[in-house]
Every structure is written in structure tokens, then in C-alpha cells.
Chains A and B, each alone.
Chain A
Amino acid sequence: MSRDTVTSGAWRQSAVTAFAIACMGLAPFGAAPAVAQSGEPITIGFISELSGPYSFFGTSCKQGLEFAEKKIAAEGGVLNRPLTFKVMDDQTNPAQAVAAARSLDVQDNVLALTGPTSSDIALAIYGYAEQNKVPFVVPVAAFAQLTKPGTKYTFRVEPDAVGWGYAAAKFVAARKAGAKLALMYTDNALARAITAGIKYQAEKENVSIVADILFPQGSNDATVQAAQVAAAKPDFVYLATVGAFDVTTTNQLLDLGIKPEQIIHNVGATSTLLGYGARSVGSNYGTFFDANLDNVTAEGHKFIDDFVQQVGRIPSYVENYCYNTAYIIKTAIEKAGGADREKFRDAMSSLNMVEPTSGVPISFDKNGARKEYMYYMQLTGIAAKSYTAKRLFYIEWAPETLPVYDLVK
């Protein structure tokens, strides 16, 4: 199967399989290693949103991690020991996530924690991890407070949300000098942080904000607001709305004559990109990994092909980060020379590697924030189960470039 082709049969098969597994209460994770490994397994606690409102993202993350876990096992594990991930469902509930963290720490004595895709959940685990000195590698959660000054045991793999806004303002300025920008976003921590970053940087880039529309969570219609935006005649509309409402808002903007090229989506996940539909071709989206990027490595292409074959859709940045997080942990264990938490933490702090799937550098500052970067892509085609896109813009910056912790409390 080609990289960008997904059959509906494969999709159905994976859906039925997922349902059967859920019904049986089974969660097989990882396969028998191809290379013999001796010694006790090194166990990492994987806490994610396998049910509740974020179940799609948690499940996607787990799928990405599973590919890496199998590959690491086939490569002989880490330090000749099996690397295993003990999975727990936090039900998209911070209290449940903390309970899972405690159980994995005290009962299973895991080396480190990882897994959440929701900033709220990650923040709950962050408190536990910092207090109890358990290394915590956050694969997909962008809230800046996860790496606030003084953080010692938490490492954030995804660039922070204020930075997304910084990158968006830079992108808009690069597309058109003195551009007029409209903002439409949902009232959540992520979107507030993104728009804080946009507003901060827009001033410096001579980008004027001509509409600033905040939607409460649970909104279903944006017709009126789309009309207000159309009346303001912006050059670009930045959308930081969520899930289904993002698709609804996009369609309502297009209905009102906003051109796809004017629309900038905060971030592109495969399901949402496909949901926009063919009429959205030409629109732009931010991302940290995309199957259409030129810099995807051979390993990245294999991951994408295998993922499409098995899961039935193209992996996006979520699955990619979770895949790479397994390798970040593996590399840090090798650097630490064993399964000691303090040595692992030190190894994470001084890590200097590249993402196996894309070659993008990975290193963390003293607070666990990653050196930031972002791509802006333009959709060039959408089919029933696949899409194509081209890279328009790339930017990287150091976390201290922005007064992140002043902009978002």
C-alpha cells in the first residue's frame, strides 16, 4: 500500500479489532521480541486518555508508541533488557491520572511516566511527578506550565502553545506584510495560550487583529461569527477551534466566501484534515510532523507505511511524538546506563538526539522545555481517506525567545 492510500476495508478492520479488544477487556501491548534479551524488563508507566473526551488522542498516542515498542524489542531492547510500557487509562480525568501515577510509582516502581495527550491531565501528573521525583516525559501536551521555571523532573516533547501562536504570527507576516488577521478560537487553555502568543508577536510583525472571537466549549454554530469575520475583510483567519466544531467553523467560513488560502488551522491531525473536505484544499495548517514533509527519514516512512497498513489512516504529529517518545526514553536509559531515576533525569536533561522519524533535533532546556519548532503546510488534495500537502514555512526558536510564563499564568 502506498504511503498516502488508505482503504476503507483496512479502516473498518482496525475499528472492529479495536472494538473487540475493548469488549474483551484486553490490552495487548507489544509483541514478542525478535532478539533475545536478558535481565529484568525496564518498565515505563504509560498513562493516557483511552476513554472519555480525549480517547481519540490517547488511543492514537498508544498506537504510535506500540510501533516503537515493537521495533525496540526487535532491536534487542535497551541495555539488553526488554523495555516495556505498562498502560493505564486515565479516563480523561485528572484525579484518575494521579491515582494511576501513584500506583505505577509505588506498586510497579516504574522508571518514568509518560503518555498523556491532554494538558489538563499532564498538569495533574506533573504535580505528582515533581513532588515525588518521578521522571515524566510528556509526549503530546502543549501547555507551557508543564515546564515552568523550577521544573526538574518533567520534559515536554511538544512545543508549547504560546510558541504555536508566535509561529503563526511569523507565518502570517511572511505570507503578507501588514496583514489583517481574524482570530476564532475555543475557550480552553490551549487556544488561550496560542492566541496570547499570536497577539504578542503580531504587534511586532505589524500584523493587525481585525476580529477576535472566543467561543465557549460546546459551541456548535459559527455562522454569525463567520459573517462578522467576512465583514471585517481579513487577509487570514486563524482557527483554534476544536474537533467537530473546527470542521463546522471551517465550512461556515467557506460558505461565506472566505477562500481556503485565507484559513490557517492551528494544527493538523489526520482525522480533522480529512473532515474539512475537498473544498478546503488550499487551506493552511500548523504541525510538527507530516507524512508529506521532505525530511521524513527512511524510518519515518516505514512507520507511516506500517501505521497506514495496520491502523488505516496516516499518522499525524500525535502518533509521531508518541513513537519518538519511546526512542527518547530508550536513548536516555542508554545514556544513564541503567534504570536509576536520578541518572535517567540527568540523561534527559543533557539529551542531544534527533527524532528517528524526521531528523528534527531533540534537546531540553533546564526546565524541560524542548527547543521549539513548527511547520506550516498547505493542503493540496483531500481524498476519502488520505490527503496531500506541501510545506510553506518552517521556523524554530529557543523557548526563552518569548515571555511565555508572563503571557500565560
Chain B
Amino acid sequence: MTTSAILLIAISVITTGLVLGVIFSLVAAGVTIVYGSIWLPNASNGQFFLTAALICWSFVTWLAVPIWVAALLTLAVSLPISYLLEATLIRRFYDVPDRNIAYFVLTLGVTQILSGIFSVTYGRWSDQFNLPPMIAGVTFIGPFPMTNNRIFVLGAASVLLALLFAMLRFHPYGRALRAVFQNREAAALRGVNVRAIYRLSFALGMLSIFAGGILYGMAYSFDLTVAWTMAVTAFAIMIVGGPGSVLGAVVVGMVFGFTQAGVSTFTSPTLATFSYLAAMLIILLLKPSGLFSR
């Protein structure tokens, strides 16, 4: 193989790892924020990820709005959806002991309902969905032509992750949210409105999942099966990173992205899919609480 061919493959591994990694991280961060504060293992994260991509596609296809407007509108739509879910389903379990099991079953139900709705609506209209590129054209990184659209997705997801970190670290709500993560009773004694933080974290988590869904739809064609793939991936990242750890979600999300790209180069795409699930099992054996748990 020529040097140029080796370079082409090497850069493709790096760029693929980065793009997949930031999207995985964004979604896993959304899942882990909600789990860390409310103890809600959101089994329906994949369906909400898909919901975001489908809503964005619907805005573009049916209302013919520009892609960037559709993306912003879709993010905005996540807020009333979050509010509705929190008000009708989630808050009823706030005081239930061992509510994580109840929440898991509840979100499995939501998964089935959304999956059924999508299969008899969008599923009958097409077997694949595409969003137009935010930015057309390609940029050459050495011999590797990377589409400007993917560069945009990579940049946008990185900015969103940075904003999420900044918000959690510096904003009063973010600090309160982290306090609830660490010890909700102590946070309540310090005057933190724990229920308000629950609501905030749910909305923030959903916003993050929606952002991941929109960016994924921009980077790749998608169909309804992506919901299941993403649900498993986001859960695996959360468990390996440590439930409730946003840093863990981001680091492990990036590792998973690079693992998928790298293993598929040197072995096969099939092994790549199993590789990070195998990593999850090994880490659970060595450190059951996850890599970044406190």
C-alpha cells in the first residue's frame, strides 16, 4: 500500500472517530445528566434522538425551511416535549424509593409507543431520511477529502459540549445541579430547590439528546433503526464512564468513536461494533461503578 493510501485511511480513522465521538458524547451526556440527578435511566433516549432527527427532517421537507432554521426549531421543540413529559410522567415518581426501576420500565414503555408511532407514520413513507448539508463542499485534510458539513457537525457538537461543561461549572444552576448529583439531601439543606433542578436536568438532558439527533441527521442518512443503535451505545457509554459523570460520558464517548473507527480498520466493522460492548463488560468487571464515578 502506498504512503498516500496509508495516510488516507489514517486520516479517515481520525476524522470518523472525532465525528462519531462528539455525537456519542453529546447524547451520553444528556442521558447521564438525567440519571445523575433524577436517577432516571432513560431507555427511550434512542427514540428521542430519532425524534429530533425526524422533526428536523419534517421541518425541512414539509415546511421547506432552511436547515439551520429547522435545527433551531427542533431544539426549541424539545423544551415543551420535556415539560410535558416531566409534568405528566416523570415528576410522579420523584418521591418513590428505588424509582430508577420504575423509570426504566416507564421509559421502555415510551420507547415502544414512539417506535410504534414512527413505524406506522414515517416508516411507511420512506426507508431512509436525509437532511440537506448545512455547508456544501469538501475540505482536503492531506489526501483525505472531508465534507464541510461534517466539519460543521464536529465543530457544532464540540461547541455544545463546551457550553454544557461551562454551564455545569460556572452557572449557578449548573453548580446546583452538580450539588444534587453529589448529595441531594445536603443540597436541599443548602437551599437548592431540588425539584426545580430535577426539571432543569431533564430539560437539559433532552436538549442534549435532541442536539445529538439533529447533528447525526446532518452527518449521516438515517432510518428508524438508528434509535436502537444509539440507545445501546449511549447506555454503554454512561455505564463505562460512570453514571452521572458528564466528563466520563464525553471521554468514553470519544473513546468509543475512535474504537469503532480504529477496530473496523484493522479487523472488521462487525468486530468494531462488539469491541466497545466488550470494553464495557471488562470495565464493569474491573470497576463496576464506572471509570469516572465518584
Contacts and interface: CB of A to CB of B under 8 A. Distances in A.
Contacts of B269: 213-216, 219, 222, 225
Chain B contact residues (Cβ within 8 angstroms of A): what range? 35 or more
Interface residues of A, number: 48
Interface in A243-258: 243-248, 251, 255-257
Contacts of A227: 8-9, 12, 144
Interface in B244-268: 260-261, 264-265, 268
Contacts of A18: 121, 124-125
Q: Is the interface of B mostly helix, strand, loop or mixed?
A: helix
Nearest to B145: A255
B270 A55 contact: no
A215 B270 contact: yes
9 contacts: A18-B121, A51-B120, A213-B268, A230-B5, A243-B127, A244-B128, A244-B129, A255-B146, A256-B8
Contact of B226 (A230, A244, A255, A275): A244
B93 interface: no
A173 B224 CA distance: 37
Given A221-B261, A255-B138, A244 B221 contact: yes
Interface in A40-72: 50-53, 55-57, 59
Contacts of B147: 255
B252 to A, nearest CB: 18
B128 A246 contact: yes
B100 interface: no
A187 B261 contact: no
A244 B224 CA distance: 9
Contacts, number: 137
Interface of A: 8, 12, 15, 18-19, 22, 50-53, 55-57, 59, 187, 213-228, 230-231, 243-248, 251, 255-257, 269, 271-272, 275, 277
B183 interface: no
B66 interface: no
B231 to A, nearest CB: 11
Contact of B121 (A22, A226, A257): A22
B128 A275 contact: yes
Highest count of chain B CB atoms <10 Å: which of A50, A55, A220, A243: A220
B97 to A, nearest CB: 36
B77 to A, nearest CB: 18
B270 A214 contact: yes
Contact of A51 (B5, B123, B264): B123
A56 B125 contact: yes
Nearest to B128: A244
A171 to B, nearest CB: 24
A358 to B, nearest CB: 23
Nearest to B265: A224
A314 to B, nearest CB: 13
Contacts of A246: 128, 221
B247 to A, nearest CB: 25
Nearest to B64: A8
Contacts of B121: 18-19, 22
Contacts of B265: 224, 228
B145 A56 contact: no
A15 B125 contact: yes
A4 B61 CA distance: 19
